Amino acid sequence: MKREEMNQKVANELKHIPHVKGYLEQNIFRSGYNATRRHDLAVNPATPPSMSFRKMLEQARKTSPTFLPIYDRDFFPDIQPS
């Protein structure tokens, strides 16, 4: 996948994980998703967004076990809130 194509894809996906002013954990999660997603796409362009989301959620919960991300549940339908 070309860099420009990857940038556009990730930017579109990030629209479904909002930046929330004053919510540090959410914003760190969003930033981590950005990095994780880019890595996953570089390794395998067919990686589904939910796989990258789950990886980042597992990471976030290591430092904040009760963290609940704000995200578009229609875009990530196979992510179950817990």
Average pLDDT over residues 41-65: 96
Query: What secondary structure does DSSP assign to 27-82, as a single string?
Result: HHHHHHHHHHHHHHHHH-TT--HHHHHHHHHHHHHHH-TT------TTTSTTPPP-
In a domain, 72, yes or no: no
- Whether this prediction's pTM lies above 0.85 is answered by yes
Asked if pLDDT for residue 58 goes beyond 70, the answer is yes
pLDDT (average), residues 39-62 = 96
**Is residue 54 domain-resident?**
yes
In a domain, 80, yes or no: no
Residue 73 belongs to some domain of the structure: no
Domain containing residue 55 = 3-63
Judge whether residue 51 has pLDDT over 70.
Answer: yes
Q: How many domains does the chain have?
A: 1
